[in-house]
Structure 1
Amino acid sequence: MLGNFEYSNPTKLYFGEDALSYLGGELATYGKRVLLIYGGGSIKKNGIYDDVIKILKDADKDVFEVSGVMPNPTLEKLYEGCRVAKENNVDLILSVGGGSCCDYAKAVSVSTHCEEDPWEKYYLRMEDVDNKIIPVGCILTMVGTGSEMNGGSVITNSKSKLKIGHVFGDKVFPKFSILNPIYTYTLPEYQMVAGFYDIMSHILEQYFSGTDDNTSDYIMEGLLKSLINSSKIALKEPQNYEARSNIMWIATWALNTLVAKGKTTDWMVHMIGQSVGGHTNATHGMTLSAISMPYYRHIMPDGLAKFKRYAINVWNVNPEGKSDDEVAKIGLDQMENYMKELGLVMNLTELGVTEEMLSNIADGAFILPGGYKILTKEEIIQILKQSL
């Protein structure tokens, strides 16, 4: 492994069918006033809301609510959450939902006491937090983002059509997260498989960088093989606990900063996909799936050794009698077949993208230097055209 790094992760995880039973003990650590954040109301239908409210009331907490957090949380919604949190001087933000709710909770936590416009400070200027941070706890009902154990927070500015993520430091990580795989059972198939691909994309964004013999790459290959196996099972048997628990655990480790250590990391699929999301409000995982194959085929010649390794170690391609280029291409073909088997969106047209939008989408995609090739705007437009 190359370079120097430090590693810490302050988030405490409770995992399994009885994970919610630990919430009461965690609540005792914080003050009386709790802001409960959740999405469109599915937690009221499946009973999770009632269970959480009972534990909050038993802990003698005053509960304030912000509901209706959307899949791509908007700046307007962030302002609403900040207002509620500040007016009620909350001591803890408790997110119940998927990654968007977790992201939103972290955004509210750093923005409520920010004296400037948080969009300008955190999402445009990318400045560090220098104000009071409200602690966050998460109860996860959908997997994919890994937001339950990292400092990432993505917010969409609908007016400017920008969807931007800020990776905050340790102080913004959730203090605790509760992961019960059963809570993911009722998720619609479209959202479920989009989450599966979000997990895969997180791993690949970190895997396709660097040329050294890196322990992180071996870990990621194992995570990918487990994800491929479990996702196929979950697609046929959505309530298979073993498969869903494996996927939930993989999602957390895919983006809790561990496998990024010693890596430069890429993230261009996310940069382009997030810009697509800013223009279309499409499901995040599907924006990534629509972009991925054209992108990886574009950069494959620049990272050929790693793409060959990926084909052999993840997709079991036999290299005998084949050139490195042939092995790498077969690996990407295998990946594409897997994506189609899951039912992922494989083109941007299905997400509402038109050719007239491509230049603006390219403008909204931050160009990062960590992968095998630093793209130009023209190359991004070329990739987008191939994704239509």
Structure 2
Amino acid sequence: MLGNFEFCNPTKLYFGDESLKYLNTELPKYGSRILLIYGGGSIKKNGIYDEVITILKDNNKDVFEVSGVMPNPTIDKLYEGVQIARDNQIDFILAVGGGSVCDYAKAVSVSIHCDEDPWDKYYLRMEEPTCQIVPVGCVLTMVGTGSEMNGGAVITNPKQKLKIGHVFGDNVMPKFSILNPKYTLTLPHYQMIAGFYDIMNHICEQYFSGDDDNTSDYISEGLMKSLIHSSRIAIKDPQNYEARSNIMWIATWALNTLVAKGKSTDWMVHMLGQAVGAYTDATHGMTLAAVSLPYYRYIIPYGLDKFVRFATNVWNVNPEGKSKEDIAKAGLDAMEEWMKELGLVMNITDLGVTEDMLEGLARSTIVLEGGYKVLNHDEIIQIFKESM
């Protein structure tokens, strides 16, 4: 492994079908005024809301709420949550929902006591918090983002057509997260499979970088193989607890910074996908699915050996009688077949992208330098065209 790094992940995890009871262990550590954040109301239909409220009341907490957090949280929604938190002098934030709710909670946590516009400070200037940070805990109900064990917080500005993620430091990571796989069993099929691909792409974004013999890559290959196996079970039997629990655990380790160690990391699929999301408000995992194969096929020549390894170690491509280029392409063909098997959206046209959006999409795409090829404007346009 090349380079020097540090590793610290302060988030405490409680995992399993009885994990919610450990909320009683954590709540006494924090103040009495709790901001409960959740999404569109599904937690009220499936009973999770009532379970959480009962525990909060049993712990003598005063509960204030921000509901209706959307899959792509907007800057206006962030301002709303910050104002509610300020008005009620919130001591602690509890996010109950999927990755977007967890992301949103972290964005609120760093903005409550910030005396600047959080969009300007955290998302345009990419500065770190210099103010008091309100602690966050998460009760996860949907897997994919890994937000339950990292400092990431993605916010969309619809007026500026920008969707930007800020990965904050250890001090913003959730203090604890509760992972009950049973909470994921009621997800609609579309959201379930979008989450599966979000997990896969998180691993790929870190895997497709560097050319040294890196232990992180071996871990990534194991996570990807486990995901492929369990996802095939889950799409046939969504109530299979073992498969869904494995996927929940994979999602957490895919993006809790472990497999990024010793890596430069890429993240260009996310930059391309987030541009699509900013224009269409499409589901995040589907935007990644729609742009990833054209991107990877474009950069194969620049990272050929890693794509060969991906094909043989993850997809079991037989290399006999094949050139490196053919092996690499066969690996991506195998991934494409798996993606179609899941039922993912495979082009951006189906997500609402039109030809006249392409220039705007390219301008909204943040160019990063950690992968095998630094894209220019024309290359980004070409990849979007091949994604249609």
- Shorter-chain TM-score: which interval? over 0.9
Q: Secondary structure at the match of 1:28?
A: helix
**1:302-355 CA-partner distances (Å, limit 9, x unpaired):** 100000000000000111111111111110000000000000000000000001
Matched residue, 1:336: 336
Q: Where do residues 211-230 of structure 1 align in structure 2 (5 Å cutoff)?
A: 211-230=211-230
TM-score by length of 2: 1.00
The secondary structure found in structure 2 opposite 1:279 is: helix
Partner of 1:183: 183
The 3-state SS of whatever aligns with 1:259 is helix
Counterpart of 2:318? 318
CA offsets per residue over residues 104-160 of structure 1, 9 Å max, x none? Answer: 000000001100000000000000110010000000000000000000000000111
Q: Please tell me the residue identity of whatever aligns with 1:77.
A: K
Residue 19 of structure 1: aligned partner: 19
Q: Aligned partner of 2:218: which letter? A: Y
Per the TM alignment, residue 9 of structure 1 is displaced from its structure 2 partner at its CA by 0.2
Question: 2 CA distance for matches of 1:158 and 1:322?
Answer: 47
CA distance in 2: counterparts of 1:172 and 1:24, whole angstroms: 22
Q: SS at the partner of 1:129?
A: coil
Deviation at 1:161, TM superposition (A): 1.0
Secondary structure, counterpart of 1:367 in structure 2: coil
**1:97: how far off?**
0.2
CA distance in 1, matches of 2:159, 2:258: 35
The residue that corresponds to 1:4 in the other structure is 4
Aligned to 2:174: 174
For the residue of structure 1 that corresponds to 2:138, the secondary structure is: strand
1:244 aligns with 2:282: no
C-alpha deviation, 1:25, in angstroms: 1.1
Q: Does 1:362 align with 2:362?
A: yes
Deviations for 1:147-190, whole angstroms, at most 9, x for unmatched residues?
A: 00000000000111100000000000000000000000010000
The Cα RMSD (Å) is 0.4
CA–CA distance in 2 between the matches of 1:260 and 1:78? 29
Question: 1:92 matched to which residue of 2?
Answer: 92
Structure 1 distance, partners of 2:227, 2:68, is 30
**Distance (Å, rounded) in 1 between the aligned partners of 2:147 and 2:238:** 22
Give 1:341-352 correspondences, 5 Å limit.
341-352=341-352
Partner amino acid for 1:129? P
Q: Which runs of 5+ in 2 are unaligned?
A: none
Shift of 1:68: 0.2
Distance 1:156 1:9 in 2: 26
Q: Which runs of 4+ in 1 moved over 3 A?
A: none
CA shift for structure 1 position 270: 0.1
Taking only the aligned residue pairs, the percentage that are identical comes to: 74
